[in-house]
Amino acid sequence: MLIPILLCLTSFAAMAAFLPPPGGQSGLGFLAATVAAFVSLLWLLRAALVARRVRAAQRARVWVVIDGSNVMHWEDGRPSLATVSAVLGEVQRVGLTPLLWFDANAGYELAGRYMNETALSRALGLAREQVRVAPKGTPADPLILRDAVALQTGVVTNDRYRDWATSYPSVAEPGVLLRGRVTGGAAQIDWPKHPST
């Protein structure tokens, strides 16, 4: 959106620079700047409409936060991207959009090297904005809980976050912490029961 705004401003500035004096004739520069301003204004309007649709689609999503550093150990206690993928599959199967958080050392556990958001999102087939890695020296737990509160959603994890219960009392509410397991490559998550069932 920044480029269309800059082009629009530049075009209008060029129009002002080539503006003919009162009663004078429009020069080629003014006409070219006018056409450029018109085109850039159309481009800006189109970019604004696209951005609005994207925001509406993101608001329509139902998110769930996943504690990736926790769920990667769900099958046999060994860290595995396949285990995380199984959990992602289950989350997506029920129609939720995952926001996946990892501690900074997750890449070392999974692949023997540091993995940032881009590397992990590629490995898991997710959009880059759906994967987050806590900064080195910062635990992911409060970041996970902060995002869950902001998104008004639950957290897929077997962690109880007792150290963070004072700052995030919602962890004690039923249905906020969604426990689960992976067995034979298949994830099972203890989804809350719908009131009508």
What is the model's pTM? 0.70
- Report angle CA 110, 113, 116 to the nearest 5 degrees: 85
Domain that holds residue 36: 2-59
Q: Which of 12, 43, 59 is the last residue in one of the domains?
A: 59
Q: Which of 59, 79, 97 is a domain's end point? A: 59
The answer to whether residues 53 and 116 belong to one domain is no
Q: What is the pLDDT of residues 165-195, one digit of tens each?
A: 999 999 999 999 999 999 999 999 999 875 4
Range from 53-57, 88-92, 118-122, 151-155 carrying the lowest mean pLDDT: 53-57
Contact between 50 and 42 under an 8 Å Cβ cutoff? The reply is no
| Count of domains observed in the chain | 2
Give the pLDDT confidence of 77-88 residue by residue, as tens digits. Answer: 999 999 999 999
pLDDT higher than threshold 50 for residue 196: no
- Containing 186, the helix (H) or strand (E) segment is strand 186-189
132 strand-pairing partners:
101
Statement to judge: residues 8 and 104 lie in one domain: no
Mean pLDDT of 28-54: 84
Whether residue 13 is found in the same domain as residue 99? no
* 145 to 12, 64, 72, 114, 151: CA distances (angstroms): 46, 11, 18, 23, 10
Q: Looking at the structure, do residues 145 and 168 belong to the same domain, yes or no?
A: yes
Residues 14 and 52 in one domain: yes
Report, as an integer, the average pLDDT of 8-23: 85
**118-151 pLDDT per residue, tens:** 999 999 999 999 999 999 999 999 999 999 999 9
Instruction: Mark whether 55 and 73 lie in a shared domain.
Output: no
What is the Cα–Cα distance from 86 to 115, expressed in whole angstroms? Answer: 19
Q: Is residue 173 part of a domain?
A: yes
d(CA 25, CA 120): 60
CATH number at residue 134: 3.40.50.11980
Q: Identify whether residues 40 and 132 lie together within a single domain.
A: no
Specify whether 115 is located in the same domain as 84. Answer: yes
CA distance 126 to 124: 6
Instruction: Specify whether 98 is located in the same domain as 178.
Output: yes
Confidence at residue 57, expressed as pLDDT on a 0 to 100 scale? 56
